[in-house]
Amino acid sequence: MREVAVIGAGMNRWGELWEKSHREIWTEAALEAIDDAGVDHVEAMYVGCMSGGLFMGQEHLGALLADQLGMGPIPGTRVESACASGGLAFRQAYLAVASGAHDIVLATGLEKMTDVDGGMATYALSTAADQEYECYQGITFPGLYAMMARAHMERYGTTRRQLAEVAVKNHLHGSMNALAQFPMKVTAEQVEGSVMVADPIRILDCSPITDGAAAAVLVPLETAKKMRVDPLIRVAASAHATDRIALHERDDLCWLASTAKAAESAYQQAGVGPTDLSFCEVHDCFTIAEVMVIEALGLVDRGRGGSAAEGGFTALDGRVPVNPSGGLKSKGHPVGATGLAQIREVVHQLRRSCGDRQVKDARLGLTQNMGGTGASTVVHVFERM
């Protein structure tokens, strides 16, 4: 297997992009990544998209978007793994380069979620849960994460204020991100006083419905060296794991087994541990998700995720900054694009070009992108060389 580098990344401003079609949104990010990479073509492309059919009435995205880019007949593949679709698209691109199948590959993520009403968006997202045993019984993702939050609170003493502090921290980071959907600061009191969605989850604990796209260009590390790319950003690890979809079938409501397994594999591949990381971009679709993810990644002990944001451990100037981009909570969550946006943030952090939200001396970054309530997780580790 060849070593792989990321030489370009792109992302458009996320939000409710009424005036743009899904192909326009995707092309903006794809062309920015290609331009950033300094290449004039790609040999293959992958598109992470959770549900183009339900959100946009459009499937067959691999062929459509390869043509939209003007690079057909290159192979174009659509990848789906619920909210982890973008991360998995990047992993497929990584494997294509590492295996020697292709030398220049474009990994992208896309979702246009606001062309349908709230009920339809809720239904589309619910297809990432177990339809027979969860959705048909009336549960939604806020309800599922509320059960996880309540279990975590009961077992470990996690507090309502600690959940709020996750949102406060991520909105503070997002306020410095010009591409974020909601780049405003919030207070813990505002979070705790916002509309209840599913006890204890309130509206400001939830990531938004978003339109957006992101992309990255991958090449063999040796090619990047010949191109005199500086700094080199090496993909040090790529790992993927799954778990049971339905919560009631899991051994522990307070533990993200797929994240723990993928992280274990990624750390082994990269030859590092959680204490070596400079920062992380993680899947904070709800505030409780970040709490549980950082435990599964080994950044803190089990049960200590709640106090991490409250105590400043995951702040921009903390021991391990988490979601310097603002995360899904502030930056937005166009589900198929989220994993690629995390990677775009890592690229810029390792280039040390993030301005006010720059992590000091960033050298090693990790991304964690998961689907549903953690039934699938993709973890990548990136190194500045």
Out of 196, 226, 256, pick the residue that ends a domain.
226
| Residue 286 in domain | yes
Is 166 found in the same domain as 100? no
Write down the pLDDT at residue 332. 98
Inside any domain, residue 193: yes
55 and 86 share one domain:
yes
SS3 82: coil
Question: Which ranges in the chain belong to alpha helices (H)?
Answer: 22-37, 52-56, 61-68, 85-98, 118-126, 141-156, 160-174, 188-193, 221-226, 257-270, 287-296, 305-310, 327-331, 338-351
* Residues annotated as catalytic (active site), given as ranges: 83, 333
Position 142 in a domain? yes
**Residue 290 CB partners (closer than 8 Å, separation 6+):** 166, 170, 282, 283, 284, 305, 309, 314, 322, 323, 327
Residue labelled with tokens 């969860």: 134
Angstrom CA distances, 52 to 7, 28, 49, 115, stand at 28, 18, 6, 11
Q: Are strands 105-112 and 211-220 parallel, antiparallel or unpaired?
A: antiparallel
Whole-number CA gyration radius for the chain: 19
Q: Domain holding 55: CATH number?
A: 3.40.47.10
pLDDT of 162: 98
- Overall number of domains in the chain: 2
343 within some domain = yes
User: pTM of the predicted model, to two decimals?
Assistant: 0.98
How far apart, in whole angstroms, are the C-alpha atoms of residue 36 and residue 360?
23
Residue 127 falls inside a structural domain: no
The residues near 131 (Cβ < 8 Å, ≥ 6 apart) are none
DSSP, collapsed to helix, strand or coil, labels residue 73 as coil
- So what's the pLDDT on residue 166? 98
Between the alpha carbon of residue 238 and those of residues 4, 192, 244, 269, the distances in Å are 11, 37, 21, 8
- pLDDT at residue 319 in the model: 97
Q: What is the dihedral of CA 80, 322, 215, 34, to 10 degrees?
A: -160
Residues 120-170 have pLDDT tens digits of 999 999 999 999 999 999 999 999 999 999 999 999 999 999 999 999 999
Residue ranges making up the domain that contains 16: 4-117+209-226
Does the residue 231 lie in any domain? Answer: no
Residue 148 lies in a domain: yes
Answer yes or no: are the C-beta atoms of 221 and 5 closer than 8 Å: yes
Low-confidence ranges of the chain (pLDDT < 50): none
